[in-house]
Amino acid sequence: VHLSNDGVVPCTVLFEMESSACFYFSKANGSETMEPGESRQLQVIFKPLKVGEAGASEELPLKMSVMHNSYESETLLLTGTCFSNDALIEDIEDDEFKFDEVDLNSPNPSSHIAFTVRSKAEVPLRFEFKAHEHFKFTPNSGHLPAGATKDVVAKFDTGGENKTYKAECVEFSTTKIEYSTGEGDEKQVVEPSVVGWDDSMKEVRVATEEEAQEIAKASESEEPVPLNFKVVEVVNGASMIEVGMEEPVHTVTGEPTVQPLRCTGVADVTKFECETRSVVFKSAAMFQKRVHRFVVSNKGETQLSYNWALENVPMASRPVDAARPAHPAVPCPFIIEPSEGAIPAQSEQQFTLTFFPLEVDDFCYVARCNMPSLVISEESQELLVSLRGKSTRPIVHIELADQNDYLSRRPPNLRNELGLFGQIEASSVRVIELESRGTRVRNTKRFHVINPTSNSYEFSWIPQGNPSPAWSCSTSKGMILAGKRGEMVFEYTPDEVGIAESFFRFKIEGTSVDEVFLFTGSVIEPVVAFDRQRIDFGAQLLGGVLTDTIHIMNDESLPFSFNFDAMSMGGAGDVLPGFRRPVLELMPMSGLVPPNGRIPITVNFSPSEEKFYNFNLICHARKKPNQLNLNLKGEGYAVHTKLMLTEESGGDDGDGAREMIESRRGVNYVDFGNVHLNEKLVKKLCITNTGKFNVDYSWSKNRNNPMLQILGCKTSGSLRKGDKLDLTLEFSPVTETSLEGIILTCTIAGRYDYMFQIGGSGVRPNLHFSFTEFDFGSRFITAPGAALEPSESVLLVTNRDLENSLSIDCAFVNQRAMRVESKPTVLEPGDALEIPFLFAPREAKDFEFDVPFLVNGTSKQNVKIKGKGVYARLELVDLQQSALQFGSIVEGSNVTRNVMVVNKSSAELTFNIVDEMKVGFGKGILEYNDIIYFPAGPVVLGPRETVTINLSFSPQKRLMPFTEDLMVRYAGETRKLLTLSGAATGFEVMLETDALPFGVVMAGSMRTRKLNFENSGDMPARCKWLEGTFGEDFSISPIEANVPPGSEFAFDVTFSPTYISDDIRQEGIKLLVDGSDPLTLTCTGSCVPQPDDTINTLSFTSCARKENIQNIKISNPTDKVWTLTPVMKGVHWFAMDEVSVPGKGSVDYCVTYYPLGMTKKEG
């Protein structure tokens, strides 16, 4: 993240970022301060712990805002996606192999890196490194079982060739495999021959015949012959060879995955350049330093390691003009820095050569640069630098640092060594400069003067010109012994700020040593300051106290005393009337800051007025030229709040809102009155902050009652300026309770209390239930599919409250065994409600129900209902009467049977006999069979009680043998009690029909129909037709018949009309039956003449007593067969008495003419 402050003032950037397991930011939830024009780079790290699902990305917002600038805010969305390969390269950062530099002149010009390949797949993998000319991997290919690892060594070897690779790409591929044989349905998974195979594995085996021949040829050949295997040994004439293991048989199951690996390596020879081969220093006095610098360049692609060695030139190799070396030998005066190290490729190194003699001599040395990687040849010679320097013995040596640049920046308005304003006239001046941390501080300068001669001498420091009184010399005169050194002490104690100069002349009696020294001093501010220059207390409640602590820091080695200027407080340190403490209080007002230490200052701010405060405090530090300043700011405010209480219903007086008063003015009374249990009454409170600042609030109770709650806010919190807080006082009693004596206190800003005296009671609703428990006792079980006959009990609920209406609602969910018929109802004072309970058990067990009633929707009253389901058992006392027989009797007679039944149930049982309807007769079965029963109405039987049922069989007609069930109904179900059987014998005859239509018949023809007579009685029937009732057009045959019982007889009824009529009817044709009433028959029909178009004339001519035959074709257009009976009139014609004509067919009807005599001629 690149940040840049383009403003003209310093800025502080705030960072807000949630904690994350993937993103790391060093400034998270922190800040960064930048000067104007400054730019900075901040790093955000994405380090995921697991792969996201379906390539999902990780996202996290990073918010940046500038302090005290609400317009400078920006949110960055950090996004990162994690993925994983099947195989991971471990121990290598960012998949980049950084090989060590290879020096081609070394005995082993190659570099190695060991790493591990780890499988992350759940199946075996085959891996392979793509071949490269100079980067080799061992093993180069192999198999990785699921989750396994393989150690691999990467080698960089150029074969002596100069090469430079930077991020060279070498592909690493992995492929999912499986060990199997066969294909399709015959495919089988097998174990690999070698687990974790790779191409570096070897095995030793006996050589084959072909391999043995290659070994023999190689042994006979004078020149070496390369073999693809290695001969290990010969055992019993057989050669044992070492060969690579064969790769196990496998099948590729996926596409290869390629990972690019970056390889960086350099192989080169050492090359350098240096123009400096000889250094000769000017003559230098003892203890004097002379410096020379030279450069060595590395022209190769590898780093150049070096170390310097200084060797004294032997006497034979010294220059001709060089003096003999001192004896005994003196320390080497030459120093080369740095003395050892490495020069990066294509870079250069600057070396500093210092000549610092400690004795008089003519020094000749050789500086030899040892480069381990350098091969000495004609083209690359060893780096040798010859060094020479002479030293002289001075009269005196003053140990002072090198000259500074004070003379170049010396103000021109100062006096010189002659006490005159102007430039320094001395040709050589040595400067000693001191800085004083504050005034009236003694600063001491100590240095040594060495006498390297063999004689002792006296020295003196003589002031020159107009010396400053701030400077003094403690060692103005003295003696330095031969070969010894003396300490010189000068003191600088300034009394004022400014530059103080003093000139001193250093002289040694009897010598030519005469040097001018300039001692100059300046005063700088001691590092004594506040750790903060400004304190902003913000807003504080009047009379409240805000405390902050600052420190006076002393980074000097001397203690400093301090004291605050009370006048700079502007009277803020005085206590005003009505307040307990001053507006501003500092502790301590004075003190001592220890060397390199600090002292805390406690600042208390307690405003007394609603206004802004701004103090610029002055703190004096002794010996510090400038005073310390501290700026204090703050604001005083008072709480301006208002509490409004709103009743739940204001009635006619408005919204019911009233303002609460502070505890100093009185107590606020809040009365909830009588509240029914499980109901709630709410009173609303509104706290409004009309002031300019946020205020804190808190609630407390003198006594806890969980039924009285404060809702809508926390027990403590903060209310912003101009905002209001709506909360509620809720009284929801669940048991009878009283709120008398409870006091709620709302504290605003920790000082202002509002007290609420709470009143109210929780009471039960005055609703009376006629019972709260009821037991139905034993009740009969209603069979599945049977009509319900529930037992009923009525609950009477009465509202005995004289003022309030009460609502009641049954919350019971009706069940199969229990049903409550109740709807939500509002009962006015004095009203009552009847609620029926219906109990109909469906199984034999004890039942218990809790029926809840909600009163006013909150209070609950339970009614407990009990009952027991039992089976209904009505049985015969004598089980042999389960099949009751009346026998076969003659109609008109009477048979009576008595049956006794018993109630074997544990409950009272009511039953009645059921006469089920007989289908098609409109009567009950018992009524149809002439069976009379008693008792006919419901019968009530107590447990184990019996009753007699009377059954009377009085048939009034013939009845076929019957078997019917006698059904009784009890417990809502009709059940079989016993079986009745009987029969009644008698005479019973009937005609098939009492009206017989003949339809249309042509004149001269006739039609005959069958009429069945049925004797269904138990005796033979003798019957006879009355011929006088037939009329002229109808006839019946036979006239008399005797029909056995249970059989039928067919009469032939013939219609032969004698005249033309549309309606020929004969009613009242009687059939007399012995032993029964006569039966009547009505016959109808019509007679029409034959149509002319249907009359065909046949003419016959024949001799007497000789036949003549002609055919008449009769066609039947209908689908039914016709059976015709022709009527022939005349004695001379003959034909068949009956002819049958098939449907849709025709026949030829033959008519024969056979005259017995001659006929008369016409005319």
**512: exposed, middle or buried (C-beta count within 10 Å: 0-12, 13-18, 19+)?**
exposed
pLDDT (0 to 100) of residue 316: 79
Q: CA of 998: how far to CAs of 545, 783, 1035, 1060, 1139, in Å?
A: 135, 60, 13, 15, 21
Over its C-alpha atoms, the chain yields an Rg (Å, rounded) of 70
Q: Note the pLDDT tens digit of each residue in 930-962.
A: 888 888 889 888 888 999 999 898 887 778 888
**Cβ pair 987, 1079 in contact under 8 A:** no
Q: Note the pLDDT tens digit of each residue in 1122-1161.
A: 888 787 777 788 888 788 888 888 888 888 888 888 877 6
Does 648 score more than 60 pLDDT?
Answer: no
> How far, in Å, CA of 941 to CA of 900, rounded?
12
> How far, in Å, CA of 720 to CA of 868, rounded?
67
Backbone angles phi, psi at 653, to 5 degrees: -90, 5
Backbone angles phi, psi at 376, to 5 degrees: -70, 125
Instruction: Please tell me whether the peptide bond between 463 and the residue prior to it is cis, using omega within 30 degrees of 0.
Output: no
Evaluated on CA atoms 620, 623, 625, 630, the torsion sign reads: negative
Does 655 score more than 60 pLDDT?
Answer: no
pLDDT band at 578, cuts 50/70/90?
A: low
Q: Output DSSP code: residue 347.
A: -
More confident: 1091 or 284: 284
More confident: 671 or 507: 507
502 residue type, one letter:
S
User: Percent of the chain scored above 90 by pLDDT?
Assistant: 21
Does 651 score more than 60 pLDDT?
Answer: no
pLDDT (0 to 100) of residue 652: 40
> What's the rounded mean pLDDT across residues 331-346?
91
pLDDT (0 to 100) of residue 53: 62
Q: Note the pLDDT tens digit of each residue in 343-392.
A: 998 899 999 999 999 888 889 999 999 988 887 777 678 889 999 999 88
State the average pLDDT for the chain: 86
Q: Output DSSP code: residue 610.
A: S
Does 1057 score more than 60 pLDDT?
Answer: yes
Does 55 score more than 60 pLDDT?
Answer: no
Among 269, 346, 312, 332, CA closest to 101: 269
Does 654 score more than 50 pLDDT?
Answer: no
**761: exposed, middle or buried (C-beta count within 10 Å: 0-12, 13-18, 19+)?**
middle
Task: Tokens 């076929």: give the residue.
Answer: 960
> How far, in Å, CA of 849 to CA of 867, rounded?
9
**Cβ pair 905, 780 in contact under 8 A:** yes
Residues 6+ apart with CB under 8 A from 645: 657, 658, 659, 660, 668, 670, 683, 684, 685
Which of left, alpha, beta for 483 (phi over 0: left; psi -120 to 50: alpha)?
A: left
Residue 446 structure tokens: 């100590």
Among 808, 801, 786, CA closest to 852: 808
Other beta carbons less than 10 A from residue 447's beta carbon: 15
Does 573 score more than 80 pLDDT?
Answer: no
> What's the rounded mean pLDDT across residues 322-334?
80
> How far, in Å, CA of 288 to CA of 613, rounded?
65
Task: Tokens 């019996």: give the residue.
Answer: 946
> How far, in Å, CA of 736 to CA of 319, rounded?
124
Of 168-172, 267-271, 294-298, 987-991, where does mean pLDDT reach its minimum? Answer: 987-991
pLDDT (0 to 100) of residue 1161: 65
Helical H segments across 28-143, by residue range: none
Other beta carbons less than 10 A from residue 989's beta carbon: 21
Does 1162 score more than 60 pLDDT?
Answer: no
Does 599 score more than 50 pLDDT?
Answer: yes
Does 725 score more than 70 pLDDT?
Answer: yes
> What's the rounded mean pLDDT across residues 403-418?
84
Does 14 score more than 80 pLDDT?
Answer: yes
> How far, in Å, CA of 170 to CA of 140, rounded?
12
pLDDT band at 653, cuts 50/70/90?
A: very low
Half-sphere exposure of 75 (CA within 13 A, CB side): 7
pLDDT band at 403, cuts 50/70/90?
A: low
Among 909, 994, 901, CA closest to 951: 901
pLDDT band at 400, cuts 50/70/90?
A: confident
Q: Output DSSP code: residue 241.
A: E
* Residue 317 three-state SS: helix
Other beta carbons less than 10 A from residue 755's beta carbon: 18
Backbone angles phi, psi at 648, to 5 degrees: -65, -35
- Does an H or E element contain 400, and which? none
Does 309 score more than 90 pLDDT?
Answer: yes
**Cβ pair 478, 486 in contact under 8 A:** yes
Residue 753 structure tokens: 């209390």
pLDDT (0 to 100) of residue 712: 80
pLDDT (0 to 100) of residue 501: 92
Which of left, alpha, beta for 1039 (phi over 0: left; psi -120 to 50: alpha)?
A: alpha
Q: Note the pLDDT tens digit of each residue in 792-843.
A: 899 999 988 877 788 888 988 888 888 998 888 888 988 999 999 998 888 8
> What's the rounded mean pLDDT across residues 753-771?
85
pLDDT band at 265, cuts 50/70/90?
A: very high
More confident: 1060 or 403: 1060
pLDDT (0 to 100) of residue 649: 45
> What's the rounded mean pLDDT across residues 276-304?
89
> What's the rounded mean pLDDT across residues 262-276?
89
**Cβ pair 631, 533 in contact under 8 A:** yes
> How far, in Å, CA of 1032 to CA of 1066, rounded?
9
User: Percent of the chain scored above 70 by pLDDT?
Assistant: 98
